[in-house]
Amino acid sequence: MSSSSAHGQGEGQPTAEPPLVAIIDDDASVRTSTLRLIRSFGYRAEAFASGNEFLSSPLASGVACVLLDVRMPDMDGLELQRRIVARHLDVPIVFISGRASDDEERRARAAGAIEFLRKPISAATLLQVLQGIL
């Protein structure tokens, strides 16, 4: 993927806007590093510190994929997944966690999660997952 043409600028032809990936994680350093990584792949990305922040955002209905931490205060990732489904937001969900239990993974997948990645995750693995979804 060429970074010079990732957004179609300067080529004289309009191109579709890259898909928007939402990153929802309570850890600021994880949000920032994941945001930069996703953008380096050529996708648009927005980060949210909580499930409530994501759900109250006007962007929630326009995301192409959600990268979601399992364990967060107030509303954990599994509850956010339930609310996304209840709102009929048809969006692929990829869980990313360093501390999730096998039961949490089983429940996430049973509720429709596309993927469940355990940290540390390589950039190549994340890119492969996103390319498969988007």
Q: Which domains does the chain have, with CATH numbers?
A: 20-133 (3.40.50.2300)
3-class secondary-structure state, position 29 = helix
pTM higher than the cut 0.75: yes
Separation CA 67–CA 125 (nearest Å): 13
Average pLDDT, the chain: 91
Positive/negative CA dihedral, 37, 39, 45, 48 = positive
pLDDT at 36: 98
Would you place residue 15 in the very low, low, confident or very high pLDDT band (cuts 50, 70, 90)? confident
How many other CB atoms sit within 10 Å of the CB of residue 3?
9
Phi, psi torsion values for 96, nearest 5 degrees: -130, 125
3-class secondary-structure state, position 96 = strand
pLDDT in tens, 24-74: 999 999 999 999 999 999 999 999 999 999 999 999 999 999 999 999 999
Would you place residue 134 in the very low, low, confident or very high pLDDT band (cuts 50, 70, 90)? very high
Q: Which token pair is 4?
A: 């010079």
pLDDT at 113: 98
Would you place residue 14 in the very low, low, confident or very high pLDDT band (cuts 50, 70, 90)? low
pLDDT at 3: 39
Average pLDDT over residues 71-92: 96
